[in-house]
A = this chain, B = another copy of it.
Amino acid sequence: MFEDAELGHAIDKGTYDARVPTLRSELLDAQFALKDAKQFPVVLLVGGVEGGGRGETVNALTSWLDPRHVEVNGMGEPSDEELERPRMWRFWRALPPKGKVGIFFGSWYTAPILQASLTKGHARWAMLEQRIDEIVRFERMLSEEGTLVLKFWFHLSKDAQRKRIKELKKDPHTRWRVTGIDEDYFKKYDRFREVSAHTLRHTSTALAPWLVVEGIDRRYRELYVAEELLRAIKARLASPKAARPTPARSSDIPEVDAKRTLLSELDLTKKVSKNKYEKDLEKWQGELALLARHKAFKDHSVVVVFEGNDAAGKGGTIRRVTGAVDARVVRVVPIAAPSDEEKAHPYLWRFWRQLPRQGNITIFDRSWYGRVLVERVEGFAAPYDWERAYGEINDFEEEMVNHGTIVCKFWLAISKAEQLRRFKEREQVSFKTFKITEEDWRNRKKWDAYSDAVCDMVGRTSSTKAPWTLVEANDKYHARLKVLKTLCARIEKGLR
């Protein structure tokens, strides 16, 4: 991995001085075109060995670029707000919007590589493999969402590093940067090298390859990175938007032969009497209230997703949940059209930014599943894009669960006849008319297509850690109780 970066690459002053002025104005032009097109963001990762010139190169780069459209994220120690969310939250919140360059000095590679370098024995590799898998999927998602991902690794051989750090220590202006780096540090070099080589090899993908920069010569590493950044932006701007590949499965929703589906098998006649409902409601709301006040709850967060047919009773059900717990710890996030800031980021960004701190509950009224439901059925997303969404969603939820978030997902199902009855009722009752729109009637005409999408969604995103619960909702009482009961059981299990 590092062989080519130990050859002593260098660029002489003449070549450098001749190139830099034009390079700078070309960079500015490219950056301006990037900003103007607003088609994609650039994510530039900087990693590597101590003394390899990462900081100097980033500073050179930012002094050449228009500083208004570059953001440098020095990802040091996470803050407490960051520690209370899944690992990747702090990187999601720092992702640049379309048209901007985000430089990550320290990235999602830093912790895994350091941790693996410090861990002894075989455990190291098992842990590392898992993180590598996550990273590959994350970066693939970024690329698929249009982000231009550039990854630079600044390398020095052991000898070169030793020499470089000695130099830095001698100069009073740079001494501060290498305090704490002693002989003990070099002892770890070999392990660090082995771990990072392994990581780089396995995370170099077609869309986001690693570029290893020899860090020994200032002029070489500056030109290397700047030229590559320039080339990549220009290439991307010049290439027409890649056509989406056709997914393996047909994008047309096929007629399903089998009449038995997850939805058709639901017993929608399930009913609860008013009496029993009122008694049980109090019981389960009380149970939920107790759980939310449980000592262990402070170390967890809860994410609840509500999806369902139009008029299936999501709103009323959500109110029965929020009514049970302290209003200070619960937030309902209605998912409608994204804001322009949200549109400038990858699809899942708008959901990531809403994730609760520990001790809190966030209820999504519709959710990230929009991509595999309405966007699929209405053709707002290309088949390739909603196909890949299943995997991305699984990854997203897995990250939450691994962090200790309890994830509950409910599909509220009603029959076609019951929906018609409710639509008509809504049109009649004055203060409910705002709940029924032309769109509802349009969606209704695609009932079968939606049903197919729901079955696929449940099949492909229901996991032990984040299972779907299908709720028979023709009877509102039954639906609300089932949701509350399930929620209590899942939280209780999660707190154990």
Complex Cα gap A73–B356 (Å) = 12
Chain B nearest Cβ from A314, distance in angstroms: 10
Which residue of A28, A32, A72, A328 has the most chain B CB atoms within 10 A of its CB atom? A328
Residues of chain A in range 162-214 having any CB-CB distance to chain B below 8 Å: 173, 176
Chain B nearest Cβ from A238, distance in angstroms: 18
Chain B nearest Cβ from A390, distance in angstroms: 26
Tell me which residues across on chain B come within 8 A of A68, comparing CB atoms: 315, 318, 332-334, 365
* B328 touching A105, Cβ below 8 Å: yes
Tell me which residues across on chain B come within 8 A of A219, comparing CB atoms: none
A322 at interface, CB cutoff 8 A: yes
Tell me which residues across on chain B come within 8 A of A4, comparing CB atoms: none
Tell me which residues across on chain B come within 8 A of A62, comparing CB atoms: 322-323, 327
A80 at interface, CB cutoff 8 A: yes
- Copies of this chain in its oligomeric complex: 2
Complex Cα gap A73–B357 (Å) = 13
A250 at interface, CB cutoff 8 A: no
A403 at interface, CB cutoff 8 A: no
A59 at interface, CB cutoff 8 A: yes
Which one of B71, B173, B327 lies within 8 Å of A59 (CB-CB)?
B327
Complex Cα gap A322–B68 (Å) = 10
Chain B nearest Cβ from A426, distance in angstroms: 13
Residues of chain A in range 302-333 having any CB-CB distance to chain B below 8 Å: 315, 318-319, 322-323, 326-333
* B431 touching A67, Cβ below 8 Å: no
Tell me which residues across on chain B come within 8 A of A69, comparing CB atoms: 334
Which one of B72, B105, B173, B328 lies within 8 Å of A331 (CB-CB)?
B72
